[in-house]
Amino acid sequence: MTTAASDLTAPAAPTERGARRRELLVLAAVCVSTILVMGLVAAINLAVPMLTASPLHPSAAQLLWIIDAYVLVFACLVIPGGAVGDRFGRKGALAAGLVVFAAGAALTAMAPSIGILLAGRVVTGLGAALVLPNCVGVLVHATAAPRRGGALAVWGAISGLGGLFGNLGGGALLQSGHWQLLFWVISPLALACAIWVLAGVSRSDRSPRSLDPAGTALLVLATVALLIGIIEGPEEGWGSTLVAGAFALSAVVWAVWILVELRVRHPLLDPRLFRIPLLTAASLGMFVTFFGSFGLFYVNASLLEYGRGFSVLGTGFAILPMVLPLAIGARFVPALARRIGLTLTLMFAFLFIGVGLFGLSSATHAPYAVYALWLVLVGCGFALAMPTLTMELTSALPAHQAGVGGGLQSATRELGSALGVAVVGTVLTAVFSAALPPAAQGQHTLAAALAVAPGSHAQIVDAFITGADAALRVAGAATLVAGAVVLLIAWRAGRAAGADGRF
């Protein structure tokens, strides 16, 4: 009997090993795809000085749109991108997204004008909106329940490390002096990832839900109107018809979007979901984390290149202190969060990011070692927030809504990134323009000011640093205030849930 029983159970171990091997291959595929789409958000910031001095000569507002066009489309369409995966299949949606991403990168690389460049960034953002939420959906359905939490924690940490790879890889490529090379390299890499996904990922069940085109259109319009107001404010004037009209339109469309989503049978994102305190806290927490972090990425490259004389490659490596805590400590964060609770974990996260941004604003003239220590503090906050928020936001929705859950997670991240870049860029431009010496008055970018007044180089760079310091302080203050709101929601969720060890 013992022998027979052993014979019956013997094949189980190889089968289990094979299943785990397939799970690891899927995890690797979605992590590499995630690094590509997230790394591009960070890498383009390294190209800002190169773009401003290029024959394209973008204005300050155009430069912000070059950065934000990708992130904006990414943010607006990432929830619909998740819904597309739920409806038509996550594997196909992920592969299609990678192909579109590759096409957008190629179009950006060959752009002869600002208009074509922006079109390429929009197409790339569309591809990214299909990629990121379906990475989560594919991972959830490909990983057995006992190992799902660990896989999501790894993916959450890797998504945060996208900034590291974007800075290092982007810095190495941009060292050539040609910003186009960044996109020429990304395009074939994305195509290779699409082949990997098609070969290694299994099909998952599909949902019969509709795609809610009305909700999608309203969401895009409301977000675009909001960012038009923020980005165009410094040049057009905050009381101008364009800016005031953009803000008013955004407010009205957001209200209409909520009313429409409450009435639609299969809403793109049901506003009633935010009655779940955990979902609200995790979504807002993700937004706040990326607001501060990507606001920093926007000014960091120019601060290091112009203020400290770093090369593009040196600038890419100089951000390493920020991402090292995420690379080293993220895997310990889930256990820490279980031990001290969600509220305390997030409290330290937002405190580290907010205080770190204030510290950086006071260290722009200090030795790089001091600047690096403040980067480490920001990185510690990011390392605490990312895995914790990823797991909590994913667990707040059922598995059959994995695509929408991934889309919501990605949307809050990208909206936070877009708004962080817009707000920080707006403050930077306003303060910089006001602090310029008389010979450079009326200019809105560092390259333009240096071109018209080369003899005032030191004063112009000092004006830029003054603007960057003010922008970092605004980002730090916003992170601390918004973080306090997240903590209040999380604390109330904890009281409602009782002593279950999660809060």
**Cα(366)–Cα(333) distance, integer angstroms:** 31
pLDDT of residue 444: 72
What are the structure tokens assigned to 71, written together?
A: 């992130």
Burial 145-172 (b: 16+ CB within 10 A, else e): eeebbebbbbbbbbbbbbbbbbbbbbbb
C-alpha torsion angle, residues 227, 228, 232, 238 (rounded to 10): -90
Q: Are 383 and 333 in contact (CB under 8 A)?
A: yes
In eight-state DSSP terms, residue 442 is T
- The pLDDT assigned to 400 comes to 59
Distance between CA atoms of residues 460 and 493, nearest Å:
49
* Residue 127, C-beta contacts closer than 8 angstroms, at least 6 positions apart: 37, 97, 98, 99, 100, 101, 102, 103, 104, 190
pLDDT at 406: 62
| Model pLDDT, residue 184 | 92
What is the Cα–Cα distance from 486 to 38, expressed in whole angstroms?
Answer: 24
Cα–Cα distances in Å, from 354 out to 93, 290, 482? Answer: 37, 12, 10
Q: Are 76 and 219 in contact (CB under 8 A)?
A: yes
Q: Which helix (H) or strand (E) holds 441?
A: none
Contacts of 224 (CB under 8 A, 6+ apart): 72, 76
pTM for this model (two decimals)? 0.72
pLDDT, tens digit only, all 503 positions of the chain:
444 444 434 444 457 676 777 778 888 888 889 889 888 877 887 787 788 777 877 877 788 788 878 877 887 787 788 778 877 888 888 999 999 999 999 999 998 888 899 999 999 999 998 998 888 778 877 777 777 777 777 777 777 677 677 777 887 888 777 888 889 999 999 999 999 888 877 776 666 666 778 888 898 888 888 878 876 776 677 778 888 899 999 999 999 999 998 888 777 777 887 777 777 888 888 888 888 877 887 788 778 887 888 887 787 788 788 878 877 777 788 788 888 887 888 899 999 999 999 999 999 888 999 999 999 999 899 888 887 887 777 666 665 565 566 667 767 877 787 778 778 888 888 888 888 888 888 777 777 788 788 888 889 889 989 998 999 999 999 999 988 988 888 777 666 655 444 45
The reported pLDDT for the residue numbered 399 is: 58
CA atoms in the 13 A half-sphere facing the CB of 204: 31
pLDDT for res 501: 41
